[in-house]
Structure 1
Amino acid sequence: MKNKYIIAFVAFMLSVTSCTKLDEDLHGQIGNQGVTEENVAALLNASYTAMRNPFQGPWGWWALQEFTSDEAIVPTRAGDWDDNGAWRALFLHRWAADHARMSDTFRDLNSVSFVSTNVLNFNPTPLQAAQARFLRAFAQFAILDGWGQVPYREPGEDVTLPSKVRGADEQIAYLISELNEILPTLPDGPVHNANKDAARVLLMKCYLNKGAFLNRATPTFDPADMQQVVTLADQIINSGKYALTANYYDNFAPRNNTLSRENIFTAQNIGGSDAGGLKDIWVPGLHYNQNPSGYNGFATLSDFYGKFEANDTRLGGVYPGVTNVSGIRVGFLIGQQFDQNGVALKDRRGNPLIFTPEVSIIERDPNHLEVAGIRIVKYPIDYANSATNLPENDWVYYRYADVLMMKAEALMRIGQNGAALPIVNSIRTTRGATPFTALTLDNLLDERGREFFWEGVRRQDLIRFGKFLTPWQEKPTDDPKYLVFAIPDNQLGNTNFTQNPGY
């Protein structure tokens, strides 16, 4: 009963804030009401649950990473998906400090940080404390990535006072120190808990992105930081615990907790009983007449699709338990769509349901509204739990392929292209693609796109590789201020924030 009370109380606190200057100060602050030392396990579990809002599904952090990039677009289809221009503002890099999705995501990320900090108020065991501190670091890394400033509190601080704020240089130093301190105490597994290898991956990301966080317009890469990336990668590689999964889509499927040897850190979903909003990663892009019935929104760009070779298995295809149930394939859905019996589907006007490579940020042709844009199914659909909308697929945060790719990139940044090339080619060969004869930063960025599409990392990659401000399909020239998001208007009541330049 006490555990249920704690979880319910946390859920309540995460839902009751309004858009006032106190949002950031009070959101996620739980205090001591009803919580005793024996309940700390439930409070830690609630911290894991709090991760669902910003991270699991396409409406929070994922949206800010994907729809500001060259691999995802939400075309306005006549009146559908207009949403007062919010999706267009993301894709065209025209957002302002009052953008609701950015404000909500900022709030939810800070909720994870503050709820995790609150665990430390109740004398947790060293293991519990290390997990809470990891979840806090995980959320704060995303806040740093997005906004360049991170609000924080120490355990026990008065929650009615404005939180303090770290700038990029102080925050990245804090994250590196914090992760190194807790890493020995974290468990070896399982993958759905904060664990040693998850901390190593996050440390790799800190070192690899450090120069980009400190100077987004002209990222730098300290050789010592790159060597840290290589060292941490080797610790994971040499453990022998992980390998590239033969079927790429097994990493994201129902029961990926047993099918995949790649996943290092995931959010556990228990089909039919306890799962986050993962179903929304496939529904927004599917058509109304497919199974499940979709929202006919999300799509990818033909230029991005064109980066793949025809024999690359990451393009997708038939997947058991999905295609034989609904006719839907996994991966990129292009051309005529069929049901499970091979019957060609039609749109709501009675025309063939043929998803086209052509897509515009604003679609006006009535014959093109329902078919414009290639769709993506990255997580194979869990039909066994469709009645509850609580799928079994675990949400993937970190994969072994990323460890390999980050090591290769770090080697390249210190001039060791010869050592990096076979690492990247090991991934390409596993995915059925032709091995590279040479490795450049451009084809490495493209390869990261192919390997990690629809996984919520593309904006970060584009910034680190110096490509975020370049024009791409449907997006014109850009303003450097968009390398960082605006501090939301409703947070500026905390005078410790300084609005980012240009907003």
Structure 2
Amino acid sequence: MYYTMKKIFLSSLTILSLLFLNSCTNLVEQVLDESSVTGQTDKQIADGNIAPVYARLTDIFTHTTYFAIQEISTDEAILPYRGGTDWGDNGIYIAMHQHTHTSTDPNLRNTWLLLTQEVSRAVSAMSALPTVNDPNAKTYLAEARGMRAYYNMMLLDLFGVVFVKEDPQSISQVLRGEPAYEYVKNEFLAVEPSLLTTVGPGRLTKGAVWGLLARLYLNAAVYRDRYAASFTFKPEDMDKVIEYTDKIITSGQYQLSPDYFSIFNSDNHDNKELIFAVDQRAELNGHNRLAYFSLSGDQFPLPAFPAANGTDGPAITPDFYRSWTSAYAPSDPAGVDPRFSKQNWTIPADSCISDANFNFNRGILRGQQYGLLRVNGAFLRCGNNYKIGKLFNVTRNRPTLPVDFTEQVDFSVAGSNYSTGYRVLKYEFSKKSQSGRNLGDADISIVRLADVYLMRAEAKLRKSNDAASALADVNLVRAARTAAKPAPALTAMNLDLLLRERGFELYWEMVRRTDLIRFGKYEGTWTEKTNTDKFKRVFPIPQTAIDGASNLPGYLKQNESY
């Protein structure tokens, strides 16, 4: 930051979001207003107020926060106790996958902390910006209010609550159910006229709000009656989904990318498919671990950095993999659908390759893996080139165990080994990452155009069973990926096929849990998961937050069954 802060307050929401993190009793949220800045231009003051509103988006979307709870809780991702030594974490990833998580889960706690903190920061910006004499202040005010709505939308989806707060020093009002949904919706509607269209995917724009409104209306039935035996999708809600997706599609501002995996490249900030994204450019935030999280500890994607490797984290479940194979049987999905994988090299063992030509395959990775061979902390060379060979789990002190990704992955001893499960490299591994745990340059998609088409297709199905129009939208997305041979057109469409298509298009993009709940599949059975408790559709409010609000009787009630 380029400014100093003097004005300090302690709000009730800040207490709820901050005090429990380290069991502290005197944490405060520092808030900047115009009077606290000396020697700054009006523009710097305005910029200084809006910056904190976006600052922690990158932390929300890290591998152990939003990704973990949106993906590992579903049929897409599973994270076993690798080799009996890694990713145990007191069983939290096993519990998340099996829907036995509790209110003491640290990943839930940290996600709650980040979201509530950003709500508080947005309120602070909203209180300061009206006094700033800069032309950008009005737009920034709309963005701050819109981002407050977005963070509350995430809280509603994950935890079933929103916080209504206008004055930084007031106590927030807690809403649930229909009032919470209506609040978020009305906040988005209020800010849309004042937002811009030309500031890129890293800021809240009209297009971003249209996409978020479409998503909100699509999930309205869930948010109104969270534990319903079946959800009632009102025609008027589906009309709104169609209205807002139409706005995006007809704006001409966005385009489906011919190269599917370019949407997730390190230089994707200007990709026309992105509508709203976490700005990850290295000169700004540049920090996520989505690339390294699934790779083997013996996969080193960067010749320049022999410490930048994977971590043997989550794999896709056999159930999710079989959704691909059953869709394209008897063909291999890798040869039919360009979203499944991208072959950047075909390397036999004991080859040599130049730095410039070294580029990992992308998408779903299967079977024996090849790559840079590291000995005593350095890669083997062939003159100016690098030696490529069959990989073994050397970093795991298992030098005879091949890095051979298998379909089987589960919580048994055999299924939890280091190489079990097919892995995902969807976001490009940053070429600047010295450790694999830093500098994730690829902007993380929040809303993109393909999702918009699929939301419109779903709304048409749910409103009037207009399968023909829904099929046209789905096939348009499939046909757009022309950098490789596009996936063949489908000939029929229904809700089950649409959910499958959303999995193919949006896997690893942190929408799966929300999708499964809306489609009535979250209580289903998949690899290592048999829990059918409908109350797991929402996560528990962290116990530390409940405890922090204990001096306000009835203020923050725990979600049912926790």
Q: Assess same fold via TM > 0.5.
A: yes
Cα distance in 2, alignment partners of residues 122 and 290 from structure 1: 48
For the residues of structure 2 that align with 1:202 and 1:355, how far apart are their CA atoms? 37
Q: Which runs of 5 or more residues in structure 2 are unaligned? A: 131-136, 301-307, 346-352, 373-386
Whole-Å separation in 2 of the counterparts to 1:17 and 1:201: 30
Residue 247 of structure 1 is matched in structure 2 by 259
Alignment CA distance shift 1:171-1:434 (3 Å): same
Alpha-carbon offset, residue 471 of structure 1 = 0.8
What SS does the corresponding residue of 1:332 show, helix, strand or coil?
A: strand
Taking a change above 3 Å as real, the CA distance of residues 498 and 17 of structure 1, as seen in their structure-2 partners, is closer
Matching residue within 555, 558, 561 for 1:496: 555
1:422 aligned residue (469, 472, 475): 472
What secondary structure sits across from 2:445 in the alignment?
A: strand
Q: Does 1:298 align with 2:322?
A: no
The TM-score, its normalising length taken from structure 1, stands at 0.90
How many residues align? The count is: 491
What is aligned with 1:68? 73
Q: Do the aligned partners of 1:140 and 1:150 also contact (CA within 8 Å) in 2?
A: yes
Q: Is the 8 A contact 1:29 1:115 kept in 2?
A: no
Note the C-alpha offset of 1:429: 2.5
Q: Measure how far apart 1:385 and its partner are.
A: 4.8
| CA RMSD in angstroms, aligned pairs only | 3.0
1:80 lines up with 2:86 in the alignment: yes
Q: 1:101, CA displacement in angstroms? A: 1.1
Of 94, 119, 122, which aligns to 2:128?
Answer: 122
1:339 and 2:350 aligned = no
Cα offset, 1:32, TM superposition: 5.1
Partner of 2:279: 268
For the residues of structure 1 that align with 2:403 and 2:310, how far apart are their CA atoms? Answer: 13
Supply the distance in 2 between the matched residues of 1:19 and 1:236 (Cα, whole angstroms).
41
AA of the residue aligned to 2:285: A
Tell whether the 8 Å contact from 1:322 to 1:383 is kept in structure 2 after alignment: no
Q: 1:398 pairs with 447, 453, 457, which one?
A: 447
State the distance in 2 between where 1:499 and 1:429 align.
46
Give the partner amino acid of 2:123.
Answer: T
Q: Is the 8 A contact 1:21 1:491 kept in 2?
A: no
Where does residue 473 of structure 1 map in the other structure? 527
Counterpart among 428, 431, 434 of residue 383 in structure 1:
431
Summarize deviations over 1:227-283 as a string: whole Å, max 9, x none: 01101111111111222101101111011123x221001222232x432432x1021
Tell me the amino acid that sits aligned with residue 192 of structure 2: L
Matched to 2:103, the amino acid is A
Deviation, 1:35, is 3.5
C-alpha offsets along residues 318-360 of structure 1, whole Å, 9 cap, x if unaligned?
A: 3499996655211011101011655221223223221001001
TM-score, L = length of structure 2: 0.81
Displacement after TM superposition at 1:114 (Å):
1.0
- Of the three residues 288, 292, 298, the one matched with 1:289 is 298
The percentage of aligned residue pairs carrying the same residue is 30
What is the alpha-carbon distance in structure 1 between the residues aligned to residue 274 and residue 189 of structure 2?
A: 22
139, 154, 165: which one aligns with 1:153: 165
> Would the aligned equivalents of 2:339 and 2:363 in 1 still touch at CA under 8 Å?
yes
168, 171, 175: which one aligns with 1:166 = 175
The structure having more radius of gyration, on CA atoms, is: 2
Contact conserved, 1:322 with 1:328, CA < 8 A, in 2? no
Q: Distance in 1 between matches of 2:260 and 2:388?
A: 24
| CA displacement 1:423-479 (0-9 Å, x = unmatched) | 011112334222221111111001111111000000000000000001112211321
Structure 1 residue 23 displacement after superposition = 8.6
Q: 1:307 aligns with which of 298, 323, 328?
A: 323
Q: Distance in 1 between matches of 2:435 and 2:81?
A: 30
The secondary structure found in structure 2 opposite 1:351 is strand
User: Corresponding residue for 2:133?
Assistant: none
Q: Does the C-alpha gap of structure 1 residues 324 and 377 become closer, same or farther in structure 2, counting only changes over 3 Å? A: farther
Indicate conservation of the 8 Å contact 2:99/2:531, yes or no. Answer: no
